[in-house]
Amino acid sequence: MQQIQPNELAAWLGDAGRRPPVLLDVREPWEVQTCHLPGIVHIPMGQIPQRFNELDPDAEIVCICHHGARSLQVAMFLARQGFSELFNLSGGVDAWARQVDPTMAVY
């Protein structure tokens, strides 16, 4: 599992020559309604143990939450389940909003 900075993720998403990652948002539904990156897969953290099999274990997955702590726990859980291409968005959507997309709502 690797940490990825918001600007690094933005560059990755903007690179037409690279396959985009799965953006796994593990926040609660009300948080996702407040703000989210486009194209996310939304599975709240509490549902990950029952639903992780919905994810491709060979895909590059960026785990996302508000500040990066919950997503880090999910990434570590997925690693124990055999997922190998895992990234944690450092600072979460809060850092994304402050560093990449200032039009995104913060909370």
Which residues carry out catalysis?
Answer: 65
Distance CA 63, CA 87 (A): 6
User: Strand, helix or coil at 67?
Assistant: coil
Which region, left, alpha or beta, applies to residue 68 given φ > 0 means left and ψ of -120 to 50 means alpha? left
User: Strand, helix or coil at 42?
Assistant: strand
Distance CA 32, CA 7 (A): 21
Place of tokens 């291409």: 85
